[in-house]
Structure 1
Amino acid sequence: MVQCKADCKYPCDESEPRRHPTAMEWKYIFSMRNLTIFVACAVAALVYIVLDTVDLRNHFKKLSVGEGSNIFLDQNDSSSIHVTAKTTSDIKSLYGRLNVEDYLQIRSYNSCYSLTDSASPFAHSEETLLPDVERQHRGCRKRLPDFVIIGAKKCGTGALTYFLNTHPGIAWAGREIHFFDANYDKGLSWYTQRMPYTTAKQLVFEKTPKYFVFPHDVPRKMYTDLSPTVKIVLILCDPVRRAVSDFLHESLIRSSVGQRMETSRIPNHYFLATNFAESVMEKSGNLNYYNELIDTGIYIKHILRWLEYFPPSQIHAVDAGLFKSDIVSEMQRLEKFLEVPAYFNASHFYYNSDSEVYCLTFPIKICPSAVHGRTLRTADEKVLRVLREFYRPYNRHLSKLLNWKLTWMDG
């Protein structure tokens, strides 16, 4: 037998079996190993957090959005803005009071276009389109609209469109496309190509007021061709005032030889005489309610057709009267409906006492036409009374459907 050292606990003779650790000894061994692994993992996690925090400073742009609050915009995460919007609904305004420089920075992070012209930071043109490599990096593509402004015509769709288009997370197609009423035979690929390039941080929309009333199957087409979840935006106004404004608008178009060829391809059911009264009243003294001037203002009739395909949660109606008197609240309601970060606030608008409308003052000045304020002065008061009486029951039913008193209701 080989002699062992004094401190040898086991027999040194290899012919004799070694004693295995007891159950208590094994438990001790495993406990020490687990503790070692836990400590190692904790140290590694701490090192990762420290390094990641340092790295974040290089990849995030810190923007001040008002006293005591900040937001971070991830230049590489295409979903960050929409996630933030849904998880910080208690914040009054994500963007707050930005200066023009901050606004351009935010918009440039979202956009597929360079913002070389501060006077028009939301214009989309081939000249300002980012290079292919940069567009690919940002995930830029042309896609079908996330929402559509469908009307009603001459109720302020133009002002609503221009105001919405200044939101850093929204992009407009740039003009009325008239796909579902006049160009449907050209196909969805043609329609898609009329949209601007957008990133996943942006919502894209188009505006064609004709869709609200014509053709009859536009709701079905949008449901099928766009998406069952596409959102619909309406702005509704006093139907009497709308009819007079529409008459003036259509009369101006027909007097312009340059525009007559362009508008001739868009179907309509207008009858226009030399003045408004002769246009809407028949010789018998009855109202010509088949005339599109009048029919468009029967809002409840057209909304019910849209409700056949889209639930109320996907249709947002703006009262043009409130849009005119409390524009900030109306724009903020619309932001919540579209699920975009809060942006609009009182500092973005000012009231123009001459035209009696709100105008945009940030990031550029945009002021809607004052023609709507002068429309009723051009019509015969007797005819206006006939129209108010005609629309009264339809307005009452519309008020019940929307669950609010319309600003133009007289009782």
Structure 2
Amino acid sequence: MTSNIVETHGQIAKNYYQEGKRKKALAACKKAIELNQDVEIAYQVMGDVLKDLGETQAAGDAFAKLGEFYVSQAKYQKGAVAYRRATKLRPNYSVYYKDLGNALTHNHVYWYNRELKQILIDEGFLDEAITCYQKAIELGFNTFWVSLNLGDALTARNRLEEAASVYQTALRRKVQRAYPDFVDRYWNSAKVNGPDFIIIGAAKCGTTSLYEYMVEHPQIVQTVKKEIDFFINFERGLDWYLSHFPPTPKGKVNFLSGEASTSYFNHNETRTRLLEQFPNTKLIAILRNPVDRAISHYHNNRKYSGEKRSLHDAMHDEIEALSGLQDRLKGGGQYWKNQQGYLWLGLYVYFIQEWMNVFPPEQFLIFQSEEFYSAPAKTMQQVFEFLELPDYQLTDYKKYNKGSYSPAEEELRQELSAFYKPHNQKLEEYLGRSFNWK
């Protein structure tokens, strides 16, 4: 009953507006909003009515409310359109630009979600994003996140020199906040060395938690962001890559900096590119039971990337696809037409072998996610020792990017365990250690 009443208020508002009865339309909009239903139509009509009446500030606020509603529903494209209308009505109000930027770049990690990025390109929003961030900075809303997102938008437009400058500005602000004395003492005198370490993977194995724990160490200085993905976007150039790194002085007290891009783990050209540019970089890999990794990967795609299949169907589809796969390192075009790599990315041994064919074993630290989460302080002690840093104990080892979903059926888990068993055995033999995955 309530739903029908609310729908009527929204439709009445729309009808009144189309008939030119603006005041009645406005009253109907307010009633719909009061009932907290049908707000999409209500704010849309309200914004149009107030604009027609010359009440630009109130109209801008109505469209901003519409944008807020769309973003709450994960309708980021529509949210961006609503915020664009708000900025046109109040071009000097920085809050709208911030909200527009958030809508354009909204994702759990910036806007690297493929579908959202494609929307930005298809709809021509990249130039709009650049403009809105520049305007926000001009109006004084000059936060780290605004600068970072501006750098990302400039990068997507291939304006790499501008992006590099913006990244350095963002990074300086980030480092200043975390290390108040560092910028004054070292920023203009120390050298940018690039990565002292890289967490190469694997995806959905705890790399975010690992990186966040590492940068708590007082001698590890953060990059502008965790995942840079440079070695799979090598055409952006070394200057662009180095703009993500702080200057790190070497001497009596060494400071280190590094990144964590899980895309590197299974990318064939990354290994040789890294060797050519930074041959002494230390490499860290964290490996999770591949069954758990695959299930986590599936649920992540289900939530963020439009996966429609059931877990059972997705896993069985890939088992069948992998059974006839000739090149385990690349997968092949036919494989990637229909599969997401849920199981493929857990074939760790083949990727580790390729990495160790390029870099010597002493430059690697490889450990299990299960051990990492059960004894994080002990694991981090090993990490800092590997990096030749003094031990450092955190006050809290919280889990980052922790997923929440129902456990897989035991029969499916058994099938996946059987699929991985020979590959896990090869990994144990190659590394000379037991992982005890079931």
- 2:243 corresponds to which residue? 193
The one-letter code of the counterpart of 2:320 is N
1:325 counterpart (374, 394, 397): 374
Residue 175 of structure 1 and its aligned partner are, at CA, apart by: 2.5
Name the structure, 1 or 2, with higher relative contact order (CA <8 Å, separation 6+): 1
Cα displacement (A) at 1:297: 0.2
SS at 1:234's partner residue? strand
Aligned-residue sequence identity (percent) comes to: 28
Q: TM-score, normalised by structure 2?
A: 0.52
Q: 1:309 to 1:127 in 2, by over 3 A?
A: closer
Alignment of 1:120-269 (within 5 A): 124-126=171-173, 129=176, 134-135=184-185, 139-173=189-223, 174-181=225-232, 183-200=233-250, 201-214=254-267, 216-227=268-279, 229-255=280-306
In structure 1, runs of 5+ residues without a counterpart are: 1-122, 256-271, 350-358, 361-365
Superposition deviation, residue 197 in structure 1: 3.4
Aligned residue among 362, 368, 392 for 2:400: 368
**For residue 6 of structure 1, what is the aligned residue in structure 2?**
none
Q: 2-side partners of 1:197 and 1:275: how far apart?
A: 48
- The residue number in structure 1 matching 2:421 is 392
Q: What's the TM-score once normalised by structure 1's chain length?
A: 0.55
> Over aligned residue pairs, what C-alpha RMSD do you find?
2.7
Q: In the alignment, residue 251 of structure 1 is paired with which amino acid?
A: R
How far, CA to CA, are the matches of 1:207 and 1:250 in structure 2? Answer: 20
**Total equivalences in the alignment:** 247
Corresponding residue for residue 286 of structure 1: 320
Give how far 1:383 is off.
Answer: 2.6
| Alpha-carbon distance in 1 for matches of 2:385, 2:363 | 12
Deviation at 1:219, TM superposition (A): 0.8
For residues 250 and 399 of structure 1, do their structure 2 counterparts lie closer, same or farther at Cα, with a shift above 3 Å needed?
A: same
How far, CA to CA, are the matches of 1:161 and 1:132 in structure 2? 20
Higher normalized strand content (fraction of residues): 1
Shift of 1:217: 1.6
Q: In structure 2, do the counterparts of structure 1 residues 132 and 338 end up closer, same or farther at CA, with 3 Å as the change threshold?
A: closer
1: CA distance, partners of 2:386 / 2:182: 33
Q: Distance in 2 between matches of 1:171 and 1:136?
A: 12
Distance 1:196 1:223, change over 3 A: same
| CA distance, structure 2, for counterparts of residue 194 and residue 220 of structure 1 | 21
- 1:336 and 2:370 matched: no
Name whichever structure is richer in helix by fraction: 2
Q: Highest CA radius of gyration, 1 or 2?
A: 1
CA shift for structure 1 position 403: 2.3
- What's the counterpart of residue 298 of structure 1? 347
1:90 match: none
Residues 238-268 of structure 1 show CA distances to partners (whole Å, capped at 9, x for unaligned) of: 001000111111232225xxxxxxxxxxxxx
- For structure 2, the 5+ residue unaligned runs are 1-169, 324-334
Secondary structure of residue in 2 paired with 1:139: coil
What amino acid maps onto 2:229 in structure 1? H
Return the alpha-carbon distance in structure 2 between the equivalents of residues 248 and 156 of structure 1: 15
Cα separation, 2, equivalents of 1:131 and 1:400:
48
Provide, for residues 207-246 of structure 1, a one-character-per-residue CA deviation record: whole Å limited to 9, x for no partner: 10111012x121111111222x211100001001000111
Q: Distance in 2 between matches of 1:198 and 1:226?
A: 15
**Distance in structure 2 (CA, Å) of the matches to 1:225 and 1:185:** 14
| Partners of 1:159 and 1:294 in 2: CA distance | 22
Matches of 1:172 and 1:244, distance apart in 2: 30
- The match for 1:382 among 390, 394, 411 is 411
Q: Which amino acid aligns with 1:159?
A: S
